[in-house]
Amino acid sequence: MTAIIPVFNDRKALESAIPQSVGVLSAISENFELIVAEDGSTDGSRELVQEHENQDRRVRLLHSDERLGRGRALNRAIVKAQGTIACYYDADLATDMKHLPELIGAIRKGADIATGSRLMPESDIKRTGGREIASRTYNFLVRLILGSSVHDHQCGFKAFNRDRILAVIPELRSGHWFWDTELLVRCQRRGYRVTEFPVRWRAGKGTTVKVKDVVEMGSSILRLWWQLHVP
């Protein structure tokens, strides 16, 4: 089993995310690796991960000198992962780690993809009203325009049957935040089994999502529709 944390200038969050991850993962499986996909950070994230890597062989640093973007960093980490199940979650641990056994368990039970959801009726979330409205609008448009059945495409808490996902990665064109949505849409079009479940989620401090990212993600919905429907 492989867990991946995509990182860009997240040293502070990693100080607690790495030890918490090791503790939770140890309770799920005796054999696991924790890959920190460090994407051109300049805040000492790389050095911090190296310290943990030197102390615990289960922790692996995957460094990039240049900024790849979140999506490309995840592609690279999934390809290099050694586990038959790969999962990832954000460094701020916004999704309660108590859900990690359920996430991994869904793949063990036969799902190709498992994803946490902040938008199901049973979900327990806290964030500003503006972000809530933006999220619900975005996901409504993805379902309407791209035909997805998933409630929440952008929750940073997903697991995969790695062999199945490797077949899709070469098709992915998004290198940043839209990666999650594109992956889910393309996998559903292939007939992959997607399991979605409600989670407890708290907005992290200092989110790296910018206004330009939101605008780009909106245009990305239309761009993906064009890619899927126009030869």
Catalytic residue status for 213: no
Q: Which of 39, 112, 152, 180 is catalytic?
A: 180
Q: Which residues are within 8 A (CB) of 85 and not within 5 positions of it... i.e. 6 or more apart?
A: 1, 2, 104, 107, 108, 159, 160, 161, 162
| Cβ atoms of 89 and 20 closer than 8 Å | no
Pairing of strands 157-161, 124-126: unpaired
Q: How far apart are CA 12 and CA 231, in angstroms?
A: 45
Q: In the 8-state DSSP scheme, what is residue 28?
A: H
Q: Which residues are within 8 A (CB) of 221 and not within 5 positions of it... i.e. 6 or more apart?
A: 138, 141, 142, 145, 146, 181
| Six-digit token string for 193 | 């089994």
Pairing of strands 2-7, 85-89: parallel
Give the residue numbers annotated as catalytic, written as ranges: 180
